[in-house]
Amino acid sequence: MYHKIRLNHYLSDAGISSRRKADKLIQSGAIEVNGKPVFKLGTIIRTDDIVKFHGSKVKSKNKIYILINKPKGFITTTRDQFNRQTVMNLIPCLFEYRIYPVGRLDCSTTGVLLLTNDGYTAEKLTHPKYHVKKIYRVSLNKKIKNEDLDKIKKGKIYLKEGKVKVIFVRKIRNAKNQIEIGLDIGWNRVIKRIFKKLDYQVVRLDRINFGGLSKKNLKIGDWCFLKTKEIENITKKYEKNNHY
């Protein structure tokens, strides 16, 4: 099975260079696809195309998918200039692999996070045009009023990016001051800003589902490998829904 991917992503996934440096390699004429030099930035190739770098065939690395139940206090990046703990500190035995977090969670936000070296999957789960569903459990500083819940449901909350449209929002039965909210927008700190607009403070935020990936039985701070088939089922779902 093949899929389409940007050439610079393919080179980055294969460990040739970063995506930014890959663009420079493409412009220099050092990259060939199916025997022809490629100079155009943004070129899309198939994963079964033959890609060469200075005449040597580029081999794509084995794909790695790691699901983490991210704890509070970890930065969602591969490194931090202030030497704060990053999610990579949760998987020290895998430092040798060139993997990176897909999307971001605030330092104080917990829950489902995917790390991979698969640029194709990363794009499908983060690009706004694919409308990837995320579900969060939100703990507030006080009980939410029904009229405020209705405002969220009916799209009456406006932030600087525009009207906030959620997939659903509901109270959690027998859980004081807690709600669940599902949405497919990726605006920065969107949930905290929604409730701040309504004069609530988010005291805990936990992502319980990301694009169909759940925490399963992972304890906070634990991680596990995912099978390629599990990831393919997710990306196929977006193909079926015509998000391409």
* pLDDT range class, residue 239, cuts 50, 70, 90: low
- The answer on pLDDT for 61 being more than 80 is no
Mean pLDDT over 19-47 rounds to: 91
pTM: 0.79
In contact, 166 and 153? CB cutoff 8 Å = yes
* Confidence category of residue 236, pLDDT binned at 50, 70, 90: confident
pLDDT digits (tens, 9 = 90+) for 170-210: 999 888 899 999 999 989 999 999 999 999 999 999 999 99
DSSP state of 10: H
CATH code assigned at 175: 3.30.70.1560
pLDDT above 80: residue 2:
no
Into how many domains does the chain fold? 3
Residue 39 to residue 32: CA distance in whole angstroms: 9
Same domain, yes or no: 84 and 145: no
CATH at residue 19: 3.10.290.10
Residues 6+ apart with CB under 8 A from 38: 7, 26, 31, 32
Q: pLDDT band for 136, please (50, 70, 90 cuts).
A: very high
3-state helix, strand, coil in the chain (%, to 5): 25, 30, 45
Q: What is the mean pLDDT of the chain?
A: 89
**Tokens (6 digits) for 170:** 């509901």
187 and 161 housed in the same domain: yes
Confidence of residue 1 (pLDDT cuts 50, 70, 90): low
Q: What is the pLDDT at residue 96?
A: 66
Residues 194 and 146 in one domain: yes
37 with 142, same domain? no
Give pLDDT, residue 208: 97
Instruction: Supply 98's token pair.
Output: 């060139």
- Residue 105 and residue 52 share a domain: no
Q: By CB neighbour count within 10 A (0-12 exposed, 13-18 middle, 19+ buried), where does 35 fall?
A: exposed
CATH number at 230 reads 3.30.70.580
In angstroms, the CA 166 to CA 170 distance is: 11
89 and 73 share a domain?
yes
Instruction: Let me know whether 77 and 47 are in one domain.
Output: no
Pull the structure tokens for residue 203: 């005291």
Q: What is the 3-state secondary structure (H, E, C) of 160-197?
A: CCEECCCCEEEECCCCCCEEEEEECCCCCCHHHHHHHH
Domain residues for the domain of 221 are: 65-128+215-240
Residues 88 and 183 in one domain: no
Q: Give yes or no: 148 in active site.
A: no
pLDDT of residue 237: 74
pLDDT band at residue 243 under the 50/70/90 scheme: very low
Q: What is the pLDDT of residue 235?
A: 78
Q: Do residues 69 and 174 share a domain?
A: no
Find all residues with CB under 8 Å of 212, minimum gap 6, and list them: 133, 233, 234, 237
Q: Judge whether residue 242 has pLDDT over 50.
A: no
What distance in Å separates the CA atoms of residue 58 and residue 10, rounded to the nearest whole number? 9
In a shared domain, residues 10 and 111 = no
Do both 90 and 201 map to the same domain? no
Q: Are residues 193 and 230 in the same domain?
A: no
In the set 80, 106, 184, 222, the catalytic residue is: 106
